[in-house]
Amino acid sequence: MHEPPPNNPSVEQSGFGIPPALRYPAYRAYWLGLLASVSGFQMFRVGQGWLIYEITGDPWSLGLVGAANAIPAIFFNLFGGVFADRLDKRRLIIFTQLTTGSLIFLLATLTLLSVVESWHVLVVALLAGGVEAFDNPARQALYPHLIDRKVMMSAVAMNSVIWQGTRIVAPGIAGILIDLINTQSAMYISGMGFVVLAVVMARLKVPPIPRGAIGNPIQDIQEGLKFIKVNSIFAFLIGMTFFNSFFGMAYVMLMPIFAVDILEVGAKGQGLLLGMSGAGALINTLYIGARGAVPNRGLAIIGGAVLFGLAVATFALTAEYVGSLLLAMGIMFVVGIFNSVYMISIQSSLQIMVPDRMRGRVMGFYGMTWSIMPLGGLQASALTSLFTAPIAIAAGGLAVALFALGPATVNPRVRNLSSHLSPITDEPAEAEDVSS
């Protein structure tokens, strides 16, 4: 188990007020830096999409930029996890944040000089995606050492609050900057967000963290895979995340079909539908972050996943056969609530149970499942070409629900997860303690 962070405050697990995780000064500083970085990330995504469409006028180019971001993240996340376990996590985050910020500044400067071309945007997207594959596992492996394990769910929820909140606010800020000033101004400001987190990390005092990856990268990846295979609870939790990304979240990619062709509400209606999903997730995430716990973690994961899957299927089918925007918005609000319940429970459980020397690799595998979300859109598109979009999305939602019910019926450890929330030992014979 990692050493408790300095200035360990007394933290209550229930009630409201300051979220338990934010009562730890080191985590609070990290959280504020992460807020700046993720805001920059969200603004950059808007800016690069706007820029390449402005250059090419081709909708296909938007898909190419998304693929350029996602593909390196999928392939390099495993190596990113190895580096997170092997290197000083704090210094690795500083390097990745400054590198990403520099890439954004470069693209903004090319735009400012009016020499930017579409291939510049694609190359920067590709490189930024590759850097992100090393940044994300390092961040996931570091922040649990800034808190006590008993407030892990609060910390996971507060991290999620940043992603949910900036997904709503940051794109709007980027759009206003692009409209009132220019594209490069939005990019320069987005790049500064990465610099802010790098500065925070440079000043942050991190307790000593054991480093566990000491072989060659391939051997270290194999060791991580073996650990997950031997400990079936990790395989289930990561598998749940895969089904969520690949099947459950495919509705995001196909939402234009529902907004334009099925509900006939246009781009504004699409924004309302996705906004309601984000609002539901954000409100529930804030609730969990302030409370710091859920009563039964195993049932929260299983029940949340089942209800999320059924809600997604209900949205798809009622959109087709009822055709009410208000009903669809209400269902999407529920979709966001249930999705946040089980995904926060999954990530906090992983963070509590994984041994420190394996944390980077396990969270690298976990992060890779999120990177495949664009591929989930491809499978849903393929089903749509064979059947219809509502059937494709409903099938994805049912797949999530069935996968959650399957292990729940045969594995009592999944159902009783709350009683197993302690670090799993993995015989770290060759691991060594090295101060960060």
Q: Which CATH architecture has domain 214-422?
A: Up-down Bundle (1.20)
Supply angle C-alpha 416, 418, 419, rounded to 5: 75
Direct distance between the N- and C-terminal alpha carbons of the chain, in angstroms, rounded to an integer? 16
Give dist(CA 312, CA 297) in Å, integer: 22
pLDDT number for residue 126? 92
Give, in order, the Cα–Cα distances in Å from 87 to each of 77, 187, 215, 372, 432. 15, 30, 13, 26, 12
- Band the pLDDT of 326: cuts 50, 70, 90: very high
User: Max alpha carbon distance in the chain (Å)?
Assistant: 62
Residue 10 has pLDDT above 90, yes or no: no
Domains 20-203 and 214-422 fall in the same CATH topology: yes
Amino acid at 389: A
pLDDT number for residue 431? 36
- Band the pLDDT of 170: cuts 50, 70, 90: confident
Q: Which residue has the higher pLDDT, 393 or 207?
A: 393
pLDDT number for residue 429? 37
Kindly report the pTM of this predicted structure.
0.78
Query: What count of residues does the chain have?
Result: 436
Across the range 278-291, mean pLDDT stands at 84
- Band the pLDDT of 290: cuts 50, 70, 90: confident
Amino acid at 141: A
Q: Which residue has the higher pLDDT, 38 or 166?
A: 38
Q: Which CATH architecture has domain 20-203?
A: Up-down Bundle (1.20)
DSSP state of 145: G
Query: b/e for 130-153, b at 16 or more Cβ within 10 A?
Result: bbbbbbbbbbbbbbbbbbbbebbb
Structural domain boundaries of the chain?
20-203, 214-422
Residue 1 has pLDDT above 70, yes or no: no
pLDDT tens digit sequence for 41-54: 988 887 888 888 78
Q: What percent of the chain has pLDDT over 70?
A: 89
Residue 61 has pLDDT above 90, yes or no: no
Give dist(CA 298, CA 230) in Å, integer: 19
